[in-house]
Amino acid sequence: MNRRFFLASATAFTIASLIGNKVNAMEKIIQKLSLSDAQWQKKLTPEQYNILRDEGTEPSRSSALNNEKRKGIFHCAGCELELFSSENKYESGTGWPSFWQPISKNAIETKTDFKMVWPRTEYHCARCGGHQGHVFNDGPKPTGKRYCNNGLALIFKPTNKKDT
């Protein structure tokens, strides 16, 4: 009985430790990037700066990424963190690139935005804090979410080398 208890406890401890290490590894992958305002202005175009740093919004239907159909990954234009997969992109009819889920739950951070009359959920890149867009509860299954993203806040990298 004691031997079984010891083996079960040791196994449970090992599994918990491995899961904990995997979670810690995921947390370490997304290390914060902090640049000065002058560094951001040098790194980004004025339009990107307005969106990523001043939480602006580009005009609807102005981004070429809205019509992007190739397989690939959408990265933050500020720090190139992977944010969305083309597999999770869909046509929302809003005029902005839309996704039903981020590539990882750790890739984005949210906050409540009161700039309009009603509260909205705004999301940012978890690494650099760059404003990406807003998330709404009117998206497709399986999540029911619509991550409505500014195209200028993203860089698309196709996974097929011949598509570059």
Is pLDDT at 85 greater than 60 in this prediction? yes
Q: Which CATH number fits domain 37-163: 2.60.40.420, 3.40.50.720, 3.40.640.10, 2.170.150.20?
A: 2.170.150.20
| Contact by Cβ (8 Å): 108, 102 | yes
Region of 36 (left: φ > 0; alpha: ψ -120 to 50; beta: rest) is beta
- pTM value is 0.80
Residues of the chain above pLDDT 70, percent: 80
Residue ranges covered by each domain of the chain:
1-30, 37-163
| Tokens read off for 99 | 């996704």
What is the pLDDT averaged over residues 136-145?
97
What is the pLDDT averaged over residues 83-92?
98
148 belongs to the catalytic site: yes
What is the pLDDT averaged over residues 115-124?
90
Those residues with Cβ within 8 angstroms of residue 104's Cβ, 6 or more apart along the chain or in another chain: 26, 82
Alpha-carbon distances of 86 from 66, 73, 89, 94, 109, rounded to whole Å:
11, 6, 5, 17, 20
Q: Considering the chain, what is the average pLDDT of its residues?
A: 87
